[in-house]
Amino acid sequence: MNEYHAGNRVKLLQCGAEYFPALERAMDAAVHEIRLETYIFADDETGRFIVEAMKRAVRRGVDVRVTYDGFGSSAHVGALDKIMRQSGIDVAVFRPDAGWNRFRRSRLRRLHRKLVTVDARTAFVGGINIIDDLNMPPPKQPRFDYAVQVEGPLLAPIHDAMCELWTRLHPSDRAKSDATVSPFSPVSEVVGDHHAWFGFRDNVAHRRDIEREYLIAILAAKEEVLIANAYFFPGRQFRRALLRARRRGVRVRLLLQGRQEYLLQYYATRALYGMLLEAGVELYEYSPSFLHAKVAVIDGTWATVGSSNIDPFSLLLAREANVFVRNAAFASELRISLNRAIDTDSTVIYGQRWSGRPLLDRVLTWALYGVARGMMALLGYGRH
């Protein structure tokens, strides 16, 4: 069983409108250190807004370290990499997408987690990249996503995970003193009443941690499983857990992507609809903008917010990070937010209408589902 830390304060932040101002405030209060990891760092209004906050911190003598993914940011970071380095911000690129790296199987092992720690006193964990919420095709509506701001004992594992990755990308730091890697220890005093666990996956000791925590909660569910996930393409174990919950009489609701962002993922997910609908799972598609959330609420007491999709890339390949919370008030806040999105911004998928959709759509759905399963098999993940 994973150890949940007591005494935390976990604040829910919805979309960039709440996340980026909170991030700026924390950075402007930094005294010693800022660490940031992201999949996408974009040279747009939001990216430059955050860089300006980090530059102000550097001028105050704060040690600022940024790690971004070489594939996720390659088409977005633009001049910001050079600007950050010239401003005194230490920058690391996780698996640069260049040269022979583009042809290696390991190129799929991306840094997909979105983490920030400030002075090891406050942290941000979630699914929101450093990119403008409106940086997408029209109609322009903010991406639907979440993050959390964390204070308390949970800071220690979050900070430790970020330090470990930094020293992995900078082997020379291992030969230096611990003070060079991080000059102080995270605060551990009790600041709230949230029990929380920081779950992350890598390709060594924590390969199944996030998926396992989901499965434990779903298999123990008694009343309701509510999941909002951008790229939903679960393996057999996850699908069976949802179906078993339905057979126990648990209400299972899935809020999924309604706007086509990536052709293969969009249709592969929809190939699962028939099976889910037949089992009594309620399906909703969010369409005002891109659904980018990776969150869940179970039985009104357990919740998670993070970067991990429920698909093979997140659960089996990428570095991901989620915060799992056992607190009725927090779970209720997230559930109310998701219910609002379901009630006002989503389309219900009805079984009878789904089975009667046009032949071309059905053919395309199953063809791309076959391609997706074939790709996973080639990569050695087809049996998951």
What sign results for the dihedral spanned by CA atoms 236, 241, 246, 250? negative
What sign results for the dihedral spanned by CA atoms 217, 299, 340, 259? positive
For the beta carbon of residue 40, count every other beta carbon within 10 angstroms: 21
Tokens of 234: 């679960």
Q: Measured over all CA atoms, what is the biggest interatomic distance in the chain, rounded to whole angstroms?
A: 66
Tokens of 120: 């090891």
Q: How far apart are CA 104 and CA 317, in angstroms?
A: 14
Q: How far apart are CA 225 and CA 245, in angstroms?
A: 8
* Burial class of residue 108 in the structure, from the number of CB atoms within 10 Å of its CB (0-12 exposed, 13-18 middle, 19+ buried): middle
Amino acid code (one letter) for 35? R
CA distances from 337 to 120, 314, 344 (A): 29, 24, 11
Helix (H) or strand (E) holding 139: none
Question: Strand 194-201 relative to strand 5-14: parallel, antiparallel, unpaired?
Answer: antiparallel
Q: How far apart are CA 307 and CA 146, in angstroms?
A: 9
Tokens of 162: 């970020």
Tokens of 335: 């559930």
Residues marked as catalytic? 112, 114, 119, 292, 294, 299
Strand partners, 331: none
Contact present, 334 and 262 (Cβ < 8 Å): no
Contact present, 39 and 70 (Cβ < 8 Å): no
Q: What are phi and psi of 240, to 5 degrees?
A: -65, -35
